[in-house]
Structure 1
């Protein structure tokens, strides 16, 4: 089972990005990928000077034109797609950072709103965004049972562990990882760790250019880097073998060996 991982530099122009996205979908399908995964903020690049109101005005609903065109492309190319949008919210001048999965019929089969907003290292996503309120259940896809995360969520091991316990065989984390001191080291270490501690694949498509570091990754269940896209825009391909998930969890039974009967004895 082959997954296409897209790394690109989003412009401020929504239509230009949409054209690029549908082109990548077609390219992934032509290479016999069964699913194509895109980075966070693929809808458009928003810089620090863009106000919360301006961002909210540019956002769309999950059934708006941006996602609808992606659904159409998924159906035409008979490929599943994982993407992201700035989704309208009921809170004034705030948006959700939302990921979605589209099946080969063009139907949205899962949506997830980022719950951990990046209020750290000089950034405050909460100034423009509102957080989601739940972790979505893993969903069956062509590459296995997928659990969805977004970028900063990777820094919170409770989330990936919850998704693994719920049955995730692949964690997919669309990201826009900001450049900075030791940030690439954090990025690589965290992605490898999430894979190792949960015995699953981690697929992390990332933005490149602007303020982002690139380095889109695919990690296998034992922590091996299968793909590192460095800084260039483009699409990479990785084969997913679910037997490896099963084998890894058998020889390294971290989920099974948890001591949930003891953890609660720590009084805080």
Structure 2
């Protein structure tokens, strides 16, 4: 397979987890009707972004994998004949939880999982309270539509994660995401942040000669602790292996889009821009240090 039809499902979420899942399912169906072979959902698409505050009751939202959501989405994948990337709050064991991406194969089986490796801890994004850092490493997931380098949100800021996925043979990089603006920042700062988010991911495409698929949510979600909340900026996009935009979504609208990605271009681009060939791995040992004093 060289040309892959990728579906992106961007939508807002509410405190009704059933309605949120139905919104994701409706988006998957729409993408499949548009010819999608692979459909990517946004980060933690079943609910509100609960990490704005540290609240032990939010752990009740977690579920096992396999579990109810993977069963429902697996049945849908089998019905529609598509591969689905879903982001879930995983209950691995009592007191042990992960932010986990699951890939459902088109026969309904679980092709693989990825547990978010980089966990933020910022105002309004208190993920370290909820999520244990992943222990599965940076391993692409083999599917019927290709080898998927699935990462999650905060991972997208780290070139090391993208590089390791590329080195392990990923054919495209995928980032389910939940990121947005704080109303405490002025419009200029807000736009700088959004552009930085787009630029860093496009740079992963360029540096690794791979397409990038990033899917974000939209809508304002209030802070239960009384803060200003988060305005999620959408802007889901697909970039080609030279960082070129193949599709960009709006900042505030529900969108179910199917984008054609030419996987064969990666080979051609890497021949012209041989970054993997020219890496000086004999001098990169200090990358294993936290900082060079």
- TM tier, shorter chain? over 0.9
2:277 maps to 1:242 = no
Contact 1:46 1:55 (8 Å CA) reproduced: no
| CA distance in structure 2 between the aligned counterparts of 1:65 and 1:122, rounded to whole angstroms | 28
- CA-to-aligned-CA distance 1:228-264 (integer Å, 9 cap, x gap): 1022112111111121110011100111110101222
Give the secondary structure class of the aligned counterpart of 2:247: strand
Q: 2:20 aligns with which of 14, 17, 21?
A: 17
Alignment partner, residue 107 of structure 1:
109
- CA-to-aligned-CA distance 1:119-155 (integer Å, 9 cap, x gap): 2366321122221123242123344321111011011
CA separation of 1:67 and 1:107: change in aligned 2, threshold 3 A: same
1:50 deviation in Å? Answer: 6.0
Q: 2:197 aligns with which of 169, 172, 187?
A: 187
CA separation of 1:207 and 1:105: change in aligned 2, threshold 3 A: same
Q: 1:168 aligns with which of 142, 167, 170?
A: 170
**Any gaps of 5 or more consecutive residues in structure 1?**
none
Provide the aligned C-alpha RMSD in A.
1.9
**Higher strand fraction (1 or 2):** 2
2:58 maps to 1:55 = yes
2:148 maps to 1:128 = no
1:91 deviation in Å? Answer: 5.2
Number of residue pairs matched?
267
Contact 1:195 1:201 (8 Å CA) reproduced: yes
- CA-to-aligned-CA distance 1:50-82 (integer Å, 9 cap, x gap): 654222112111122122111111111111100
Alignment partner, residue 225 of structure 1:
245
CA separation of 1:234 and 1:265: change in aligned 2, threshold 3 A: closer
Alignment partner, residue 76 of structure 1:
79
Give the secondary structure class of the aligned counterpart of 2:283: helix
1:47 deviation in Å? Answer: 3.8
Alignment partner, residue 117 of structure 1:
119
1:49 deviation in Å? Answer: 6.8
Q: 2:151 aligns with which of 136, 142, 149?
A: 149
Q: How high is the TM-score relative to the length of structure 2?
A: 0.86
Q: How high is the TM-score relative to the length of structure 1?
A: 0.93
| CA distance in structure 1 between the aligned counterparts of 2:261 and 2:145, rounded to whole angstroms | 6
